[in-house]
Structure 1
Amino acid sequence: AWLQEMGSAVDVVDLVAFSAVINAYAKAADPEGAVRCFHRAVDSGLRPDLGVYVAVIDAHAACGQGAGAAEWLDKGVAAGIEMDMSSYNAVINAFARSGDLGAASAWQTRAVADGQKLDMMSFNSIINAVAQSGDSSAAEAWMLKAEAAGLRPNEVTYTSLMNAAVHRGDRSAVNELFESMRSKGLRPNIVTYTTLVAAEALSGDVGAAEAALEKAAADGVTVDVQSLGVQVHAYAKAGNFEGAKRCLDRALAQGIAPNDVVYTTLMDACAQKGDADGTIAWFTLAREQGLRLTVRSYN
């Protein structure tokens, strides 16, 4: 509703306001809304700039709509806009997210042909896509392609490779990749540490999982609610309710407010142990904190 209100207000303002609304549609993964607002800007006599075109491209990319993202990049070129590498990366990312790696690779080639210089982001979206599918070999092959292009893999690259190793249950590879990135001077972020904790917890090595959390704290990396959910889920899946609860207690001490996913995971862990009282206790606490529990929570 607020997007519609903003959209109706831009009739009397400038391109900056239109750009803000289009960016809001992009963040909401609403390409149709972004396109409508774009046309309203044009109908108002304004000439969209690079930022506006990139926002429309991003809106399509957020939905994995590669063809739509590519179409709007071409429209920008046709309008005389000097598109930058970020716009090409958005198209590459859109195709990668939809699983069309051939098209993603083709757009890398197109970017170079158009005078752009590939950066690590041009490869990370593809590496992440294949890593999430569990294809570690393909992910590593794409990293080698990036290195062959003279690029230096970053923490996002290594975290994606670690995630692929978690999917295939290769704890050793996760740790090797983690140490490799640190040896190269890269600083692990919260996603990296969450991936490491998940690998250790799923293997059943509570000590290693706790050590990973201590490393994160020593590096000044603070848990967020999303990483908390992943960590709690990993402990619960490994049948380690105590570890899951320690993660929660640590997060609470840092001022992190758990969401319904975290509480549902804890309830599941209790239920799997046959601990009906524990399940009810976590359910009650979640309700007291005003969380809207999902249907799964009641099952």
Structure 2
Amino acid sequence: MPPNLSALSPLQILPSPSLFTEQRINLSTKFGERPPNLVAKFFLCKKAPKFITCGLAPSKKRRSQNSEKSEVEELVSVLVRNSSKDKPLISTLNKYVRIIRNEHCFLLFEELGKRDNWLQCLEVFRWMQKQQWYVADNGIYSKLISVMGKKGQTRMAMWLFSEMRNSGCRPDTSVYNALITAHLHSKDKTKALAKAMGYLEKMKGIERCKPNIVTYNILLRAFAQSRDVYQVETLFVDLETNALSADIYTYNGVMDAYGKNGMLVELEAMLLRMRKNQCRPDTITYNLLIDSYGKRQAFDKMEQVFKSLLRSKEKPTLPTFNSMITNYGKARLREKAEWVFRKMIDLGYKPSFITYESLMMAYGYCDCVSRARDIFSEMIDSGMQIQVSTLNTMLDVYCMNGLTGEADLLLQYARTKEVLPDSSTYKLLYKAYTKANMMDLLEMLVKQMEKDDIVPNKKFFLEALGTLGSTQAISTQPSSVVDGSRAPVLSSKE
């Protein structure tokens, strides 16, 4: 049974500044106040030395480690820069074969993964195995499995796991964590979550592979995204039973699940629990609070959390502003959505295409179609690369305001600007034209789909003509569960 949060003041719910600030040490000497992290035992002596050096001398070992790290990073950047279609990466590796070791390859995998070159990761791995200095290592396999998973190559991740075991390496917790993450990147989320839970149970039975807090955080985030509150709560109880200490990622995962399901009372109860455990909120905490309150149209609370974020040590991110613009727009609060956009510019943030899409949709909800079109036109005129999602947003604005003819004209105009539609564009228009009973436009749309080699199947029609889910309907309703008068306020010194 969650506590009665309405009876608590905002400062009782969220952390107070004193929880996260160090106690200052007042050193009343002629030298003035010293920083709190310095040890001042010499002030207790009767005779102080003439010259006192305060502070820690830089560690030679630390300087040496930083130097070695920078050298490794520099070599990796050279390897990536010098590789091209004409000059394969393996040739460059052979050139530097005398100095390349495991740590270079580890960073190289990470860099290639960022560049979407997962095939080159496998080439580098095969090259490594041929070197005399190569020793099979869990860390290398863990990194490779992680890269393959992020690129949706689940089968390749599984092959690497088998390869690791065949090489004589014994899997540990980090390897299983990477494997779980790889499965969770697959398209079939239901199957992936079931597979991940199977690995969790398997890990519990292997002494060297016991799940740690990272394991639970990965699973909590995945189930939060799927809105499975029951499984999130079960995992949270399970990690506490196994004597694991929750961290900020743990609390964020649980609160995200509550927020996505509109369970603001439970969210605030978890927030109170986080405060009691002296866990400091981060930007993700602020963002999920802002988004959760915004979706339930508890705007007083959302605005108070935003003000607290501006006063805190954390900084807003683009998702902070995008969420507020979107939720104000759905509530038809155009002026407030515009205020958020101006505030973002004043704070020095550069809008992304998602920000522009959020503002366009806000205008669409507020019947300001011309303003949305102005933004779209300005984006094209500025030379910005237009995403398909931006085109879909403008089409959606037209369709929600009953302007299907203008939507068709925009589709033709977009082609002249080399903004090509995809299946999501056609689904949106198919649904809108069918709803408006515009059979002539529908017939033209199907012909255009054939030209673009987009074949409508059963799944296409189900998604195009399917009704809105109950979760979407709930997310736009005002909160009737939580008192909207006050929000938990985060202190500016947190």
TM-score, length of structure 2 as denominator length: 0.47
CA deviation after TM superposition for structure 1 residue 264, in Å: 6.8
2:229/2:258 contact within 8 Å kept: yes
> Which amino acid letter does the alignment assign opposite residue 27 of structure 1?
Q
CA distance in 1, matches of 2:340, 2:253: 27
1:57/1:73 contact within 8 Å kept: yes
The CA deviation string for residues 176-229 of structure 1, in whole angstroms up to 9 with x for no partner, is 01123445565443332112223455422365233245267x24x55244x433
2:326/2:337 contact within 8 Å kept: yes
Q: What corresponds to 1:210 in structure 2?
A: 411
Gapped regions of structure 1 (runs ≥ 5) = 266-299
How many equivalent residue pairs?
A: 262
1:83 to 270, 274, 281: 281
Q: What corresponds to 2:464 in structure 1?
A: 262
Matched residue SS, 1:14:
coil
CA distance in 1, matches of 2:217, 2:376: 39
1:14 to 207, 211, 224: 211
Matched residue SS, 1:205:
helix
2:326 to 128, 148, 154: 128
CA distance in 2, matches of 1:186, 1:50: 37
Q: What corresponds to 1:223 in structure 2?
A: 422
- Greater Rg, structure 1 or structure 2? 2
CA deviation after TM superposition for structure 1 residue 65, in Å: 3.1
Deviates further, 156-165 or 38-47: 156-165
Q: What corresponds to 2:340 in structure 1?
A: 142
CA distance in 2, matches of 1:24, 1:81: 22
CA distance in 1, matches of 2:454, 2:194: 37
Identity of aligned residues (%): 18
1:73/1:88 contact within 8 Å kept: no
1:196/1:212 contact within 8 Å kept: no
Q: What corresponds to 1:194 in structure 2?
A: 392
Gapped regions of structure 2 (runs ≥ 5) = 1-189, 205-209, 468-494
Q: What corresponds to 1:116 in structure 2?
A: 314
1:144–1:21 Cα change, 3 Å = same
Deviates further, 198-207 or 20-29: 198-207
Q: How does 1:1-299 map to 2 (within 5 A)?
A: 10=200, 12=204, 13-15=210-212, 16-183=214-381, 186-200=384-398, 202-203=402-403, 204-205=405-406, 208-214=409-415, 218-219=418-419, 222-225=421-424, 227-251=425-449, 253-254=453-454, 257=457, 258-262=460-464
The CA deviation string for residues 227-253 of structure 1, in whole angstroms up to 9 with x for no partner, is 433222333344422323444454562
CA deviation after TM superposition for structure 1 residue 6, in Å: 5.4
Matched residue SS, 1:259:
helix
1:256–1:106 Cα change, 3 Å = farther
TM-score, length of structure 1 as denominator length: 0.73
The CA deviation string for residues 129-152 of structure 1, in whole angstroms up to 9 with x for no partner, is 121233323321221222233323
> Which amino acid letter does the alignment assign opposite residue 422 of structure 2?
V
1:19/1:51 contact within 8 Å kept: yes
1:36–1:127 Cα change, 3 Å = same
1:245–1:137 Cα change, 3 Å = farther
- Over the aligned positions, Cα root-mean-square deviation in angstroms equals 3.1
1:17–1:132 Cα change, 3 Å = same
From the two aligned structures, give the one with the greater helix fraction: 1
